[in-house]
Amino acid sequence: MCNSEYRFTNMFRPSFRALKQAQSAASGTGSSGFRGSAGRLAALGAVALTSAYAAYTLKLSQHEEVHGDVATLDVRPDKLWTPPTREQMIEALKRSSSNILRSDGDAAQRSLLRQQHEAVGVAPSPEVAQVYPAESNDEEGFDLLVVGGGATGAGIAMDAATRGLKVAIVERDDYSAGTSSKSTKLVHGGVRYLQKAVMQLDYEQYKMVREALAERKTFLHTAPYLSNPLPIMIPAYSWWKLPYYFAGTKLYDIIAGSENMYSSYIMTRSKALEAFPMLRTKGLAGAVVYYDGQQNDSRMNVALVLSAIMHGAVAANHTEVVALNKAGPNSQISGARLRDRLSGDEFDVRAKVVINATGPFCDSIRKMDDPSQPDIVAPSSGVHITFPGYFSPRHMGLLDPATSDGRVIFFLPWQGSTIAGTTDTAAKVEPHPIPGEREIQWILEEVRNYLNDDVKVTRSDVQSAWSGLRPLVKDPAAKDTQSLVRNHMINISDSGLLTISGGKWTTYREMAEQTVDRAVEHFGLKPVRPCVTRHVRLIGSHDWSPTMYVRLLQEYGLDTDVAHHLSTTYGDRAWSVCEIIEATGKRYPRHGVRLDAHLPYIEAEVRYATRMEYATKIADFIGRRSRMSFLNTEATIEALPRVIDIMGEELNWNESRRQLEFEEGIAFLASMGVHPDRLKQISNIPLSEARRWKDTRIHTETQ
């Protein structure tokens, strides 16, 4: 625990005891709605002042901890910087060294760093060269081999690379193919966790909220083009709920302290209906609005991987661990045997530390280490559905804090559509879980309860649906074998396998920092610098601004929604996408051939994803590099043949490979909520027929 966290924790404990005493006193006033609420309000007030002071003190201490080398690392990559190819990455893994990757691109990057230092009159220190570490002995292998390319694994790779450690990261499927692409898209402390902390007098829940709120601000700073503040409305259908909700959101603001975005506020009934016209009017007393963050999760994951590569990491998707290698008299892990799932090649990689960051799949890696290990993951399925954008205000979400079964549900604008969710049911671990109709219908029913009678929400309004697996984790080192870890858990086995599991997107950076700290301490690694990821921005952030899309529009004659989409998807790398953009042959828009008329995605993005972002299979693009399948599965089905043909041109696929990708694309869309009846219609269509059908439809529409 850092000194600032220790000071914060000890300052808060007295006010937490005051909360407990206040709630105990309030419980004697009765259990009716108003009296119970008054007691809760008194309880919330008991902690507010101390929380504000503690948050302010924490902010001051964080400023003291900024490392002087951050300016060296927080630089935009050279405009012409191109990441190594996947083939080069595989070769580097086979040699257990990144030396093979040190080419002209690295020299250009080091030259850029020298120019940065010369501009401020500072001679580059030996540490500057370590941004791209000097060549080392191949026999040493990597310092870290990270298994798992989701949010946690990518965050660890970024953290380790910016510390100057030699790190490799491998992912069995694609980056963020699992849970990390199937979140609620929020960057949040968790108002429901705060409610539990107050109602159950649970300090650990409170601490989790406080840590997440601190990370929320960092998240928005390091990737501003992929994240943004979002106001979220909580409607109140009893007059006493207005002050109750407001007190809770104000405490949320206070805990965030100077890291807060904007202050929460109360809306009158008329203002709430003006902001959210579809809201149910009967019994509405008003609403409370608070702020949290929103993000594009899989694009964030890709940005983390590319940023780690830019700082010297070796990364390969579609590469799985088939065995853990051990050496020495104590059989300590010394690396792993990997299989390239695209070529079938198997090879060994040497590493001082192997980190298991595979989320819900971490038990499979743990059992490679020791088959007798018990399972520690209790997966829970969270289903979300997507509606058209007109079901919600463009810039405001909604939170139902008390659904029919006591859970919460979000109703959020995202990427021009509306997301509703989530569920929480026990599930089995599988690569691509299919959202159940029962869960979809439950969300639909809860949404209907919050919308007025003029709005009829049906299954046909669902444009996509997905199920993400949350890994609830049991700490194998805990004495109580029934206890579950609420946040995240780090464990090192007797043979040296370091496992990190649990947590959420908002706290990925803190989890990565703690994991690398643990590896450095336990295994005696020698980083060049301490953790700096709180301040180092991700690729695409450095020359981005919220109005950058206007320059793209003016320069290339794009549709406004396409220009805005490119800006908020690639950041300043959108200019690189536009360098390969295709002409439309029209007076307007001049550039940007759409993959489907209903979505802002263009053909150049497919080429960019294959050349610059390691998209090697159809699901890599429709599910992660773009978010087509999350927004509209029908539009994705329409675009599928063209996407496959463009990827085929880039990756030299023959017709049989393209047919295979088409079949795999349809199978992937089954996990994205395509209705079973529709799935039967398209499952046996050959790619050649799908091409003709789409061409015929387009020709008919243009008549």
Structure token digits, residue 171: 């992912």
The residue whose two tokens read 């150049």 is: 604
Backbone φ and ψ of 354, nearest 5°: -110, 125
What's the pLDDT at 10?
47
Tell me which of 94-103, 245-254, 465-474, 588-597 is least confident: 94-103
For residue 216, what is the enclosing H or E element? helix 203-222
Q: Between the CA of residue 657 and those of 177, 241, 622, 664, what are the distances in Å?
A: 21, 59, 17, 10
Residues 628 and 644: their CA atoms lie apart, in Å, by: 14
**Tokens 């997440």 sit on residue:** 212
Beta bridge partners of 384: 421, 466
Query: Which residues pair with residue 380 across a beta bridge?
Result: 426, 470
Domain ranges, ordered by start, for the chain: 70-129+140-180+299-376+474-523, 548-701
β-pairing, 286-295 with 332-340? unpaired
In whole angstroms, give the CA distance from residue 325 to residue 103. Answer: 30
Lowest mean pLDDT among 8-12, 77-81, 635-639, 643-647: 8-12
What is the tens place of the pLDDT at every residue in 642-687?
A: 999 999 999 999 999 999 999 999 999 999 999 888 998 998 899 9
Distance CA 703, CA 698 (A): 9
DSSP-derived letter for residue 279 is: B
> Look-up: residue for tokens 């580097």?
92
pLDDT score, position 473 = 85
Residue-wise pLDDT for 593-604, tens only, equals 999 999 999 999
CA–CA dist 341, 309 (Å, integer): 21
Rg (CA), the chain: 26
What CA–CA distance (Å, rounded) separates 581 from 432? 33
Intrachain domains 70-129+140-180+299-376+474-523 and 548-701 with the same fold: no
Residues 6 or more apart from 113 whose CB is under 8 A from it?
72, 75, 124, 128, 131
- Sign of the dihedral through C-alpha 71, 72, 73, 75: positive
More confident call, 542 vs 701: 542
Among the ranges 166-175, 367-376, 440-449, 690-699, which has the highest mean pLDDT value? 166-175
Residue 54 banded pLDDT, cuts 50, 70, 90: very low
Alpha carbon distance, N-terminus to C-terminus of the chain: 67
Answer whether residue 698 shows pLDDT above 80.
no
Say if residues 467 and 435 touch (Cβ distance below 8 Å).
yes
**Structural tokens at position 333:** 């892990």
DSSP 504-545: -GGGHHHHHHHHHHHHHHHHT---SS---TTTPPPTT-TT--
Least confident of 170-184, 367-381, 648-662: 367-381
Which amino acid, one-letter code, is at 36? G
The pLDDT assigned to 194 comes to: 81
Report the interhelical angle of 560-570 vs 548-556 (nearest 10°): 130
Q: Output phi, psi for 616, to 5 deg.
A: -125, -5
Distance CA 174, CA 664 (A): 14
3-class secondary-structure state, position 289: strand
Tell me the C-alpha distance between 452 and 455, whole Å. Answer: 6
Q: How confident is the model at residue 695 (pLDDT cuts 50, 70, 90)?
A: low
Secondary structure element (H or E) that encloses residue 144, with its range: strand 142-147
Going by the DSSP 8-state scheme, the letter that residue 134 receives in this structure is: P
Mean pLDDT of 301-324: 98
Number of C-beta neighbours around residue 663 at 10 A: 16
DSSP string covering 603-663:
HHHHHHHHHHS---SHHIIIIIIS-HHHH-HHHHHHHHHHHHHHHHHHHT--HHHHHHHHH
300 pLDDT more than 60: yes
Beta bridge partners of 421: 384, 410
Could you tell me the two tokens for 606? 């497919």
Helices (H) and strands (E) in the chain, counts: 25, 18
Tens-place pLDDT, residues 281-293 = 999 999 999 999 9
Q: What is the pLDDT of residue 120?
A: 38
- Buried b or exposed e, range 120-148, using 16+ CB within 10 angstroms: eeeebeeebebbbbeeeeeeebbbbbbbb
What digits encode the pLDDT tens for the residues 109-168? 555 444 544 443 434 344 334 444 445 555 679 999 999 999 999 999 999 999 999 999
Q: Which of 13-22, 56-65, 110-119, 569-578 is predicted least confidently?
A: 56-65
Q: Are strands 142-147 and 346-356 parallel, antiparallel or unpaired?
A: parallel
pLDDT tens figures, 514-559? 999 999 999 999 999 999 999 999 999 999 999 999 999 999 999 9
Lowest model confidence (mean pLDDT) among 77-91, 263-277, 429-443, 551-565: 77-91
Distance CA(210)–CA(58), nearest Å, equals 11
318 to 86, 151, 169, 649: CA distances (angstroms):
10, 16, 11, 20
Mean pLDDT of 221-239: 96
Q: Report CA torsion sign: 125, 512, 621, 655.
A: positive
Instruction: Please state the pTM of the whole predicted model.
Output: 0.87
Angle, helices 241-256 vs 203-222, to 10°: value is 60
pLDDT class for 484, splitting at 50, 70, 90?
Answer: low
Residue 571 pLDDT > 50: yes
Query: 195 vs 12, 205, 487, CA distance in Å?
Result: 17, 9, 16
The amino acid at residue 125 is: S
Query: 70-129+140-180+299-376+474-523: which CATH topology?
Result: FAD/NAD(P)-binding domain (3.50.50)
Phi, psi of 377, deg, nearest 5: -100, 130
Q: Which CATH superfamily is domain 548-701 in?
A: Alpha-glycerophosphate oxidase, cap domain (1.10.8.870)
